[in-house]
Amino acid sequence: MTDISVPETHASAILTIDLAAIVENYRTLQKQTQGVECAAVVKANGYGLGAEQVGGALLGAGCRKFFVAHLDEGIDLRAVVGDAEIHILGGLVPGVEDVYRQHKLVPVLGSLGEIAAWKAYADGSPLPCDIHVDTGMLRLGLPPAELRQIADHPQLMSGLEIRNVISHLAAADTIHSPQSGAQLRAFKEARRILPQGQACFANSSGIFWGSPYHFDLVRPGVALYGVNPTPDSANPMRPTVELQARIVQLRDARAGDTVGYGATYKVKESAKIATLAVGYADGYLRALSGKAFAYLGGHRIPLVGRVSMDLITFDVSQVPHPLCHVGAWVELIGANHKVDDLAREADTIGYEVLTSLGSRYHRVYKT
């Protein structure tokens, strides 16, 4: 990709989000789970890409079940997805049961306390909810002791309209983790105690582990957004994000000159240094200091020195002169350099790169 086409804007960086690719990824996941319903996780503003736009696109693709983390995310999404189901993974916030009902939000209940509160609020006319069973995360969901209480006293679950019984994989991106097999067995055991509604287990990676993990409903997030759900093999998803920034200054450096805060990079021979107006305030992680790569006119260029709040610097000495000028667009994320590549350079995961994408970029949505 030597020639990047960009829209007219005064912005110094452009984030392009490909909604058609997100829809295609949804279809890929549907094909992977034939006969099983596919929900969409759009928490954290659609993994940073815009819950409103992503939610609208997936609704158009036929998705009728959405999961978010927080109550407020559910309220905002309600305006976008009509009467589709919205499930709140964070559970029930005590005292505001009214808000769930008013916006038709389904709480994912994760303790006998939450279950009792929702039942009391429903007061005899059951309201929809999901039940989260902890099978090994020790985070959210009914702990084993509470599940045993339900086994002994099934009437604890009367007066609820249970839509889904869910659990969450702890090691979903580590293929063949023995923990996943144990969680699968624990979930099947939980279903014997809680057979109501649909069973919902797999996240993005779990979908690629085959049908024993699929049950009735799957809940992918990150795969929709193009991050590789199968890190040990080729990415089956389409990339959905491009990030381009233009060169705002070009400087000639001599041997011994240093670049940026802390003078962490010393120029060995003469070099050409390009500055871009992107920094950690834009979610371009400071951990990328001295480690990231980008592409200019198809040429790979190394980031040198530290990432600062608003600026980053690359050594562009090896890029042929006509391609390298003030105003030239640099590919930070794109066909040559994927979200997963940038994540590896920052020693993190694609999830964090996406959900960190800043609000100062000029955002363009492709449909």
The answer to whether 15 touches 365, Cβ cutoff 8 Å, is no
55 binds ligand PLP per the rule CB under 6 A:
no
Q: Which two tokens stand for residue 57?
A: 């696109």
222 binds ligand PLP per the rule CB under 6 A:
yes
What one-letter code names the amino acid at 189? E
What is the footprint of ligand PLP within residues 236-255 (CB under 6 A)? none
Residues in CB range of 54: below 8 A, 6 or more apart:
19, 22, 40, 42, 46, 224, 225
From the CB of 174, what's the least distance to ligand PLP, in Å? 12
Please confirm, yes or no, whether 43 is among the known catalytic residues. yes
Query: What number of residues does the chain have?
Result: 367
From the CB of 46, what's the least distance to ligand PLP, in Å? 11
Return the SS3 of 107.
strand
Identify the bridge partners of residue 363 per DSSP, sorted by sequence position: 15
Q: Which of 261, 266, 268, 366 is catalytic?
A: 261
From the CB of 36, what's the least distance to ligand PLP, in Å? 15
What is the footprint of ligand PLP within residues 188-207 (CB under 6 A)? 203-204
**135/204 with CB nearer ligand PLP:** 204
348 phi, psi to nearest 5 deg: -140, -160
DSSP conformation letters of 230-295? -TTS---SPP-EEEEEEEEEEEEE-TT-EESGGG-EE-SS-EEEEEES--GGGT--GGGTTT-EEE
From the CB of 74, what's the least distance to ligand PLP, in Å? 14
Task: Pick one of 46, 136, 197, 221: the residue that binds ligand PLP (CB under 6 A).
Answer: 221
What is the footprint of ligand PLP within residues 167-186 (CB under 6 A)? 168, 172
**38/89 with CB nearer ligand PLP:** 89
Q: Which two tokens stand for residue 212?
A: 């024993």
Q: Which of 26, 43, 225, 265 is catalytic?
A: 43
Task: Pick one of 41, 58, 63, 160: the residue that binds ligand PLP (CB under 6 A).
Answer: 41
Report the C-alpha gap between 274 and 288 in whole angstroms: 16
Q: Using CB under 6 A, which of the segments 3-11, 53-61, 216-224, 296-304 binds ligand PLP?
A: 216-224
Active-site amino acid positions: 43, 261
Positions that interact with ligand PLP (CB under 6 A): 41, 43, 89, 168, 172, 203-204, 219-223
